Amino acid sequence: MGFMDDTGRFGPSGVESLFMDAGRKRKLPQVGDRFANFVAETTHGRLSLENYADGHWVYLFSFPSTFAPVCSTEIVSLAAQIKAFNDLGVRLMGVTCSDVNRALDWIEDLEEVFNVRVPFPVVCDPQGELVRELGMINPSESARTAMRKSIILDPSRKVQLMMDYPAYLGRCADEVLRCLEGLQDIDYTGMALPADWMPGDYMVAPGPMSDADMCSSFGDNWHKVRDYLVVARG
């Protein structure tokens, strides 16, 4: 397991090279931060996040353990939706506190039981070094296993979304896909998305926009409900 900054430098145990504020104090990643690169052993061999992402959107998710019921259903659910992730140009990477051999045995078993291929790598961090640095452990819940944290990175590795789930609540692959498609729409259009948005629904202007700007961007596919609420369909 190793950690590095964007210059490729490693600190003692790699720890100092991860997230630091301007005063060189350790901080956990937040929305808007550029996510640090790391190199780790995975079920697909030794990988760096930077090379694996390769300019794509990334869904990085941690989970407590292998051969566990909720974790197993999450992996299978994500694997079953891999075409939808591929269509959005998204690469998936799991992270857990397991050794590689155990993780490989588990994935092989899931593929046999559920007749599904798991095509994405799982980072194996048996000592918990990486998950601690990435804020994927909550000591009040468990000091030895990763929590269910979801992180979406854009092609520049900027954190666009973070979500935490409790140990006994599995994530929904459809919701992950909704968030990814929404974030990509925001990135492409400069618009914002309202509550309960689903792909294909109306977007909202994030602030004041002139009628000319709206017509230039959306033609006739927009409507001013109020000066503070302008909706459009991309």
What are the pLDDT digits (tens) for 194-207?
A: 999 999 999 999 98
Residues 138 and 204 in one domain: no
Residues 152 and 209 in one domain: no
Residues 90 and 25 in one domain: yes
Residues 22 and 115 in one domain: yes
Q: What is the dihedral of CA 97, 99, 103, 106, to 10 degrees?
A: -100
Q: pLDDT digit string (tens) for 3-57?
A: 454 444 433 334 344 555 555 555 678 999 999 999 999 999 999 999 999 999 9
What mean pLDDT is reported for the chain?
A: 88
In a domain, 182, yes or no: no
| CATH code: domain of residue 9 | 3.40.30.10
Residues 211 and 123 in one domain: no
Which phi and psi (to 5°) does residue 83 adopt? -65, -40
Host H or E run for residue 48: strand 45-48
Range of the domain at 45: 2-171
Residues 219 and 163 in one domain: no
Residues 166 and 85 in one domain: yes
Residues 121 and 199 in one domain: no
**How high is the pLDDT of residue 167?**
86
CA 38 to CA 210: how far, in whole Å? 44
In a domain, 178, yes or no: no
Tally of domains in the chain: 2
Supply the residues annotated as catalytic: 71
**How high is the pLDDT of residue 45?**
96
In a domain, 181, yes or no: no
In a domain, 183, yes or no: no
Which residues pair with residue 148 across a beta bridge? 165
Residues 138 and 206 in one domain: no
Q: pLDDT digit string (tens) for 149-179?
A: 999 999 999 999 999 998 899 999 999 999 9
